Amino acid sequence: MTLISAQVYLFYGFAGLAVLGALGSWLLVRNAMAAVMSLIVTVVSLSVLYVLMGAHAVAALQLLIQAGTALVLLLFVLLLVNPDPGGFGTRDPGQVVIQIIGAAAALAVGFVIAGTVSVTLPLPAEAAPGSGGFRELGVQLVTVYAVPVEAVGLLLLAAVVGAVVQTRQEGR
Amino acid sequence: MVPIEHIVGLSALLFTIGVVGALVRRSLLAMLISIQLMLNAAGLAFVGFNRIWQGSEHGQAIDGQVFTVIVISVGAAQIAVGLAMVLALVRNRDSMNVEDMSVLKW
């Protein structure tokens, strides 16, 4: 097996794993903790896909930020609020039909978008070797994309301040 | 390597799963998880398109990857604020079900 075909097999394997994790994060599991773990499967699979596509720096950041921080935060809150075991996804029986119609409509829109995009795209070509490292990414971030990076920094600051204000309890 | 159609298809599939999850599930946490899924799908599309962009005359361009980094950061901000809101709501209403959050509804 050559390296290229190994890459292709890895891609489809982890793509399937990502879809399974995504489905499991709300469809297959009844437990909130298992749902978060399922989302972690998707996030880690996506970072493997990033590596296969040559975006090594993005894959590392995905693991560090998404899996390492965001999902751990999610687990912490899960432990804090202690959701009742049956309360994750209890549904109103009268709304099931509406929900199924809405889900089918969303699926249809997704397929239409995917079909349009795949028809109008040019043929793929191989990526240039040696791109996607932290050096190239860092240079881009501090030169061309300096303003968006500052905007994201401002957004994160606002998010942290907002989170503290929201969760602060009066009188303590 | 994998054709771009499959990467975009996977991205669209993940995004659709996220949309359906956000619509169908009535739990605040499940909706947050689904939104996170949608952000991840968008990031995957950016990196996939970046590969074609690199294959054209632009050579070493990695703009798509920069966008993905920004999307990941926005996801982190979203989950921080979202979880703070979940905490505040659960404290005040003692419920994680969005059906109970109907103060703005008339």
Domain ranges of chain A: 1-84
Where is pLDDT greater, at B11 or A25? Answer: B11
What is the model's pLDDT at position B58?
63
CB atoms within 10 A of CB A56: 17
How high is the pLDDT of residue A42? 92
Do residue A70 and residue B55 have CB atoms under 8 angstroms apart?
Answer: no
Task: Specify the 3-state DSSP secondary structure of A73.
Answer: helix
Residue B83 — pLDDT band, cuts 50, 70, 90? confident
| Digitized pLDDT (tens) for each residue of chain A, 172 residues in all | 566 777 888 889 999 999 988 988 877 666 777 888 888 899 999 999 998 888 888 998 999 888 887 778 888 887 877 655 445 555 566 667 777 787 888 888 877 777 766 655 544 444 455 566 788 888 888 888 999 999 999 999 999 998 888 888 765 5
State the average pLDDT over residues B60-69.
85
CB-facing half-sphere around the CA of B88: CA atoms within 13 A = 15
Q: Residue B69 and residue A39: Cβ atoms within 8 Å?
A: no
Give residues with Cβ within 8 angstroms of A65, minimum separation 6.
Answer: B72, B73, B75, B76
What does the DSSP assignment read for B88-100?
HHHHHHS--BGGG
Domain boundary assignment for chain B: 4-95
- Give yes or no for residue B99 having a pLDDT over 90: no
Q: Which residues in chain A have Cβ-Cβ distances shorter than 8 Å to B73?
A: 65, 152, 155-156
- Of all residues in chain A, the one with the smallest CA distance to B4 is A124
Least confident of A23-32, A162-171, B44-53, B89-98: A23-32
Partners of residue B6 in chain A, C-beta under 8 Å? 11-12, 15
Residues of A in contact with B13 (CB under 8 A): 19, 22, 110, 114
| Top-level class of domain A1-84 | mainly alpha
Q: Which of residues 58-77 of B touch A (CB under 8 A)?
A: 59-63, 65-66, 68-70, 72-77
Structure tokens at A55: 């975006």
Chain A interface, mutation test: which of B46, B73, B93, B99, most A Cβ atoms within 10 Å? B73
State the pLDDT at residue A82.
Answer: 65
Residue whose tokens read 């693991």? A63
CA angle A25, A30, A35 (to 5 degrees): 25
As a dihedral over the C-alpha atoms of residue A68, residue A74, residue A79, residue A83, rounded to 10 degrees, the angle is -150
How many alpha carbons lie under 13 Å from residue A34 in its C-beta half-sphere? 11
Residues of A in Cβ contact (< 8 Å) with B90: 81
- Under 8 Å CB pairs connecting chains A and B tally to 261
Confidence at residue A119, expressed as pLDDT on a 0 to 100 scale: 59
Q: Do B8 and A121 touch (CB under 8 A)?
A: yes
Inter-chain CB proximity B14 and A162 less than 8 Å: no
Distance CA B16, CA B34 (A): 10
Those residues with Cβ within 8 angstroms of residue A168's Cβ, 6 or more apart along the chain or in another chain: none
CA distance linking residue A160 with residue A69, whole number of Å? 13
Question: B71 — phi, psi (to 5°)?
Answer: -60, -40
Query: Who contacts A56 (Cβ-Cβ below 8 Å, separation ≥6)?
Result: A50, A132, A133, A134
- In whole angstroms, give the CA distance from residue A132 to residue A129: 9
User: Does B98 lie at the interface with A, CB-CB under 8 angstroms?
Assistant: no
CA angle, corner B95, sides to B90 and B97, nearest 5? 115
- Interface membership of B13 toward A (CB under 8 Å): yes
**How confident is the model at residue A125, as a pLDDT?**
45
What is the topology classification, in CATH, of domain B4-95? Answer: Helix Hairpins (1.10.287)
Q: What is the pLDDT of residue A46?
A: 93
